[in-house]
Amino acid sequence: MFRPGEVVPESYIKSYGYRSFFTSHQIPDTIFKKMFGKSYKENCTVPRSSLRYILCLHKDIAGKTIVGEMVVNASIAQDILSIFRQLYEASYPIERMRLVDYWNADDEMSMRANNSSSFNFRFISHTNVVSKHGLGLAIDINTLYNPYHKYLKDGKEIVEPITAKPYLNRNANFPYKIVKGDLCYRLFKKYGFKWGGEWKSSKDYQHFEK
């Protein structure tokens, strides 16, 4: 009845509950058609059968209940549904959860929109190794407010998305910030994920991977 990105009225939740919204599926043909040539690139080495299309609910900072969607590896689909269900129950704010294909699988544009996502096929730079996102084993949450940050050997600073520079100050107060010890961090760690905010040579505050 409700499609991804749509707001679900609280009256509906009170009448019918919310658990039926948290589901995992083989990728439907209609969804795969949106993905093919974008997040599921023509050189993709990950079988479609090893991925799952999940639907769930999330709440934004204003408390609106929104239908979210994500493609993840089948091996973590149930864990991810459990995590998102508990985040929803606690009203943990997640602004947007749509497939990166709505931004033509452009990570920078998806992150600028503060979109939370997972699968986007690619190899690790200069290797034949598929990245964690390429396997659907990494999840990025509230990406604008929790950027990737690194200094290269030549001193060049990398910030992704580039519009996230104001949120590099992790001592500042702003919405959608992930910090060590908060509910998002605790749940992902509970299910065996590593947090990019604890990396040494770079920081990826949005990123959880298995």
Nearest to 119 by CA among 69, 78, 66, 58: 69
CA distances (Å), origin 204, targets 46, 52, 150: 24, 24, 9
3-state secondary structure of 193: coil
Instruction: Compute the distance between CA of residue 180 and CA of residue 178 in angstroms, rounded to an integer.
Output: 7
Residue length, the chain? 210
Average pLDDT over residues 156-185: 97
With beta carbons less than 8 A apart as the criterion, state whether 101 and 35 touch: yes
At residue 70, the pLDDT reads 98
Per cent of the chain over pLDDT 90 is 95
Single-letter code of the amino acid located at 132 = K
128 pLDDT more than 90: no
At residue 198, the pLDDT reads 97
At residue 171, the pLDDT reads 96
Residue reference for tokens 């065996």: 192
At residue 127, the pLDDT reads 83
At residue 1, the pLDDT reads 84
Average pLDDT over residues 197-209: 96
